[in-house]
Chains A and B, each alone.
Chain A
Amino acid sequence: MFSAAALLKNALSGHTGWTPHWRKAAPKPRYDVVIVGGGGHGLATAYYLAKVFGITNVAVLEKGWIGSGNAGRNTTIIRSNYLLPGNIPFYERSMKLWEGLEQDFNFNAMVSQRGVLNLYHSDGQRDAYVRRGNALRLHGVDADLLDRDQVRAMVPMLDFDNARFPIEGGLLQRRGGTARHDAVVWGYARGADRRGVDIVEGCEVTGLRRENGRVVGVETTRGFIGAGTVGLAVAGNTSRLAAMADLRLPIESYVLQAFVSEGIKPLLDTVVTFGAGHFYISQSDKGGLVFGGDLDPFPSYAQRGGLPVAEDVAACAMAVMPMLGRLKILRSWGGIMDMSQDGSPIIDRTPVEGLFLNAGWCYGGFKATPASGWCFAHLLATGELHPDAAALRLDRFSSGRVIDEKGAGATPNLH
């Protein structure tokens, strides 16, 4: 149990009492459930399988170290301010889970509800945000519309005077904010491990074994592992894994870059998104400004970004916060986004019996981590779609019941 008292007690004994937060498990020959992918989603799924459904004969297989994919390569934003009814209940489930997460899994993930402010710069954009804000309120999700003066009072260092696209106001979700991404991974890992889940690092899945059309286990770099049910939660590698089961998915993978500045004293107390370009920014507890922008333009599995987008992100930064000019980028990185064809995720069965899919998170996967685990665990345990994720079906693409927040159509890099 982590607590201030435990911390103090250990401090007095030179911290010799702490033990590994998760065991370095070796794979057993067979599990009831094998989850492929030791990122936030896979670990959250295992945690809720154990905690909610009492299913503990579970392995999470990770080819590298846990959290090495997009869980550790994002801008840590959490929010549930979506537009469409297929998405809102799901992301709001996530937000509610975020709100009790640290006490639930006994790990401080620094969930900070410092607000997410989406700026608008035109009447048309305002109308679209009003539509969204009203949709949120109808779903019982908090949303507030701010005028220019209210935005200025909240974030005074924005460019209100010389901007190419003047700020007219903003849509605010006060319950949105940030969380410490790595800690979310570690917290779920520790919680799952404590409940008996095996977390197997350095174990890459190389094949899916099928018998009579049903998945019976996975081939791995550490040998065959039998499974009653296999769940894929491998953002950035979904198509490769699915191909092992001869599935072609509505997914194309792209790089999203992110950037962090040197640490500075507290400056920006909320998450701000720019409405006249692709840009979002927040400040971490360590003081670094964390920001990002648009996808790189072409499909990629290389975890690095290109110059045009980096320069555009910086230009957007200067456009919205011209005081950033003398602050310095300390580090940038790229993650592989499995972009779905409508910009929304998939939590569903696959045509292969026993094989389940958690995929297509685009660049929204981090905020979804708790609900993704919650709903995927529900699906794996019961075989039924969770009501909050009922729209996130795989067959929506063939039926046309797509969940296209941006209206960009089947062009993954535009979502």
Chain B
Amino acid sequence: MLIPCPFCGPRDLGEFSVLGAARARPVVAVADLDGEAAVAAFAAYVYERENPAGPQAEHWFHGAGCQHWLTVVRDTRTHAILSVTSAGTDEAAQSLEAAQGAAPEAAP
């Protein structure tokens, strides 16, 4: 399977490692870091997953290539890659939003 890395071009799956679903780390004021809300927000961030059968944005690391973290939007039912952008960029944030907006269909 070839992944269209925006920096390196199409590259073999074996060059990448996958962190799983892309999520946004909670932003909590320092004064509130010990609060229950912070724990709940971080626990949700760290553990809970939507785990859709359909498009989802994921974080992939091109370790054997450009060493960029990428936001890969992929269909978990077909493995089709819908977009690949450099993670942490505005473009990636848009692709993440787009993936979350796409209604996943029923599980296969």
Contact = CB atoms under 8 A, between A and B. Distances in A.
Interface of A: 206, 236-237, 239-240, 243, 248-253, 297-303, 306-308, 341, 397-398, 410-413
Contact of B47 (A301, A410, A413): A410
Nearest to B72: A298
Interface residues of B, number: 33
Contacts of A239: 49-52
Interface string B16-31: 1111110000000000
B1 A252 contact: no
Q: Which of B21, B39, B48 has the most CB of A within 10 A?
A: B48
B53 interface: yes
Contact of B49 (A237, A250, A303): A250
A284 B43 CA distance: 43
A301 B1 contact: no
Contacts of A412: 20, 49
A251 B22 CA distance: 14
Contacts of A298: 18, 20, 58, 60, 74, 76, 79
Nearest to A398: B43
Given A299-B76, A302-B77, A302-B78, A248 B107 contact: no
B102 interface: no
A213 B76 CA distance: 31
A299 B1 contact: no
A308 B76 contact: no
Contact of A397 (B16, B43, B79, B106): B43
Interface of B: 1, 12-14, 16-21, 39-40, 43-44, 46-53, 56, 58, 60, 74, 76-79, 106-108
Contacts of A243: 50
A236 B76 CA distance: 12
A300 B76 contact: yes
B24 to A, nearest CB: 14
A363 to B, nearest CB: 16
A237 B52 CA distance: 10
29 contacts: A206-B106, A236-B107, A239-B49, A239-B52, A240-B107, A249-B49, A250-B49, A251-B49, A253-B76, A297-B16, A298-B18, A298-B76, A299-B21, A299-B58, A299-B76, A301-B53, A301-B76, A301-B77, A301-B107, A302-B77, A302-B78, A302-B79, A307-B1, A307-B13, A308-B13, A397-B43, A398-B43, A410-B47, A412-B49
Nearest to A238: B51
B49 A411 contact: no
